[in-house]
Amino acid sequence: MENQELIPHLFRTEYQKIVSVLCSLFGIHHIEIAEDIVSDTFLTASETWAIKGTPENPTAWLYTVAKNKTKNYLKRNTVFETKIVSEIKHNTPLNNPEIDLDLSDQNIADSQLAMIFTVCNPCNSEEAQIALALNLLCGFGISEISDAFLSNKEVIYKRINRAKEKLKEENIKIQNPNQSEVKDRIQTVLKTIYLLYSEGYYSVSQNTTLRKDLCTEAMRLTYLLIQNENTNLPETNALMALMCFHSSRFDARTGDNGEIILYEDQDQSLWNQELIDRGTYFLSKSSTGSTLSKYHLEAGIAYWHTIKQDSPEKWLNILELYNNLIILEYSTIVALNRTYALAKVKGKEEAIREAEKLNLTDNHFYYSLLGNLYSGVDSAKALQYFETALSLAKTISDKNVISRNIELLQ
């Protein structure tokens, strides 16, 4: 791999690891210093490798340089010497007074777990948590995050900085959560990761690579939780199963030009069987205990969508899971998605009656669904609903799908 490809790859995989360890060492009030040290490490790598070539072990080289830069910073910065270093030394065993950056696999995992619970603190809004998670936990830059949210860089920059300042104001400690803290905060953490994944899977951004990266990072963070005994909970495994099942159909969901391909039109040969098998494994792991979360039910729905044969049993199971999901945690989107399964089980007429009760007049998915349900029942109404959906749709891919449906009707 050439340097022009290797350094961005290592930045994606290693940046957040080193930042997490440094943040754990320095504390919440010095996040920017941690980021500066790591950014400077990658700048040094870019300059040095261009002249001397890529080292035999690039990751180890980065870790060594990051350690040296940290030590140098601690030595030359008087504020750190008087205020921070003494505090770090106070918490360091007497037989090891030398401050060292521990970049062992175990400490990286522990530091990242601590950072997940720090970043996903409810003192910040959900959108701020996601932006900060993308930045600190996943190594995404301001431009990438603004692309993901279809926002401008200044808005994202301010959102991330406000989120950091809020954590400082609240004096949030960066530390591994105990069982009590896990119990209190795990739902917030899982929800942030779930929203992070959703931003990738249902993203309005046309950047397909970025969308996949968002999903991959959400899965990586979830796996970190699974590897820790305190956070390896049924709902954590259920969330992982859900993401595996959805990701298994990622390549089949979009065409060569980025257009969305609806479920019934997907090329099933493009479904990733390895991810389906992994999802099945995590779904099985999630069945222990008495917890039933929305992630369990959504994972069950996603599982049945990976069954290639269309059968009454498949859609009966999907409908039943949607019924339970609506009881557990009602949302209009869940109710809307349920209507498709209802049409498969009980016919379009009953599905139309249920769909029209929702009256989601500002939602293009609502009108698209009605257009599909009325196709073959009342073509004039179907066309009317598709045209309304087209007027409300925001993305090019959504507009293309709706336009294709209109062409088929005409």
Q: Do residue 110 and residue 225 come from a single domain?
A: yes
Q: What is the mean pLDDT of residues 400-407?
A: 89
**Are 63 and 165 members of one domain?**
no
In a domain? residue 283: no
Q: Are residues 124 and 181 in the same domain?
A: yes
Query: What is the residue range of 154's domain?
Result: 106-232
pLDDT score recorded for residue 76: 78
pTM > 0.75: yes or no: yes
Count of domains for the chain: 3
Same domain, 226 and 185: yes
The tally of CA atoms less than 13 A away on the side-chain side of residue 298 is 24
* 13 and 63 belong to one structural domain: yes
Q: Of 71, 103, 135, at which residue does a domain stop?
A: 103
Rounded to whole angstroms, the Cα distance separating 355 from 294 reads: 22
Give the model confidence (pLDDT) of 237-269 as tens digits.
Answer: 999 999 999 999 988 988 776 667 888 888 999
Same structural domain for residues 93 and 136?
A: no
Structural domain includes residue 275 = no
Give the list of residues 6+ apart from residue 62 with CB closer than 8 angstroms, or none.
Answer: 10, 14, 18, 41, 42, 45
Average pLDDT over residues 271-281: 97
Rounded-to-integer distance, Cα 124 and Cα 128, Å: 6
Measure the CA–CA gap between 214 and 196, rounded to whole angstroms.
7
pLDDT value for 96: 40
Q: How confident is the prediction for the chain on average, in pLDDT?
A: 88
Decide which of 205, 232, 259 is a domain's last residue. Answer: 232
Same domain, 145 and 193: yes
Are 227 and 109 in contact by the 8 Å Cβ rule? The answer is: yes
Is there a single domain that holds both residue 112 and residue 219?
yes
Backbone angles phi, psi at 254, to 5 degrees: -130, 145
Residues 82 and 147 in one domain: no
Show which of 103, 123, 157 is a domain's final residue.
103
Closest CA to 183 of 27, 284, 291, 296: 291
**Do 14 and 46 fall into the same domain?**
yes
Same domain? 92 vs 137 = no
Q: Minimum mean pLDDT among 44-58, 173-187, 285-299, 361-375: which range?
A: 173-187
Both tokens of 237, joined, read 């495994």
Q: Answer yes or no: is 392 within a domain.
A: yes
Which class for 357: exposed (0-12), middle (13-18), buried (19 or more C-beta within 10 A)? exposed
Q: Are residues 92 and 134 both part of a single domain?
A: no
Tens-digit pLDDT profile for residues 299-329: 999 999 999 888 999 999 999 999 999 999 9
pLDDT average, residue stretch 221-240: 95
Evaluate whether residue 226 is within a structural domain: yes
In a domain, 308, yes or no: no
Task: Examine the pLDDT at 100 and tell me if it is beyond 50.
Answer: yes
User: H-type helices in 228-272, by residue range?
Assistant: 234-248, 250-253
